Amino acid sequence: MENTFTSVRPDSKSKFAGAVFLYVFIGLAITAAVAAIMGFIFKYALPIEYSTSGFINPATQQNASTYFAVMGGATIAYFILLIWIMVGTFKGKGNMAVPFTLYAIVMGILISSFTLFVRVELIAISFAITCLIFGGLFCIGWFAKKDLSVFAMLAGGLVFGALLMSLFNIIWMFVSPATFNVMNWVISFILLIAIMLITIVDFSRIKKIEESGQGTKNLALFCAFSLYVDFIYIFIRVLIFVARASKH
């Protein structure tokens, strides 16, 4: 990868979107591989077991401590990498491939909790649903003829409203626990709608960049990072919904 935002040649204009989607695929593959490896390690090599009372079995306490330490380190690394990517994009310098790859690895560590505690079939179903949703959002964002910037404004409003509802819900938890759970579902659904709108806008923006011929390799990586984050967030939300529904 180049270390600067050098524009691609005119004859490679049509390759910009292809590069973006390739980077997204690579990022998701890295994350899935890391999550699977982490799940295997802490299921079989360093298993974490729980007693009938719901507490961690003392015999596997050291394994649990190791896992929590890894998760803590990954959380810190997550925020550092996020700042690195944002600053690098703003300054327009540096190789975006490095922080993007590291971010995908760290995200795999963080979502490994799903591979540890959620059944494989539920993860597979959630992934399939997410792919279908992502495909639908692509069609809307890519083939829309009108300006979709209003979707970004609507998404911002939904996120702000969800945050206010979350604050209210924390207070309401002490009044009506049952209502608290219902509100959690509503807030999660609102946030899912918001990220779906943002994803549509991201697809539309990628198309405009490609048509302008001003795409760069680092810009393609940043666009891929945006879509990668969108996909991961949608997947996590869908997985939570599927896991909860499977319990009823």
Please give the model's pTM, rounded to 2 decimal places: 0.85
- The residue written with tokens 């709608």 in the block is 193
| Confidence at 9, pLDDT banded by 50, 70, 90 | very low
- The residue written with tokens 């009823």 in the block is 248
Q: What is the pLDDT of residues 98-112, one digit of tens each?
A: 999 999 999 999 999
pLDDT of residue 54: 62
Q: Is the pLDDT of residue 50 over 50?
A: yes
Q: How many CB atoms lie within 10 A of CB 29?
A: 12
- The residue written with tokens 């069609």 in the block is 139
Contacts of 2 (CB under 8 A, 6+ apart): 95, 216, 217, 218
- C-alpha closest to that of 241 among 118, 72, 99, 69: 118
Query: Rounded to 10 degrees, what is the CA torsion of 121, 126, 127, 129?
Result: 130
pLDDT of residue 195: 93
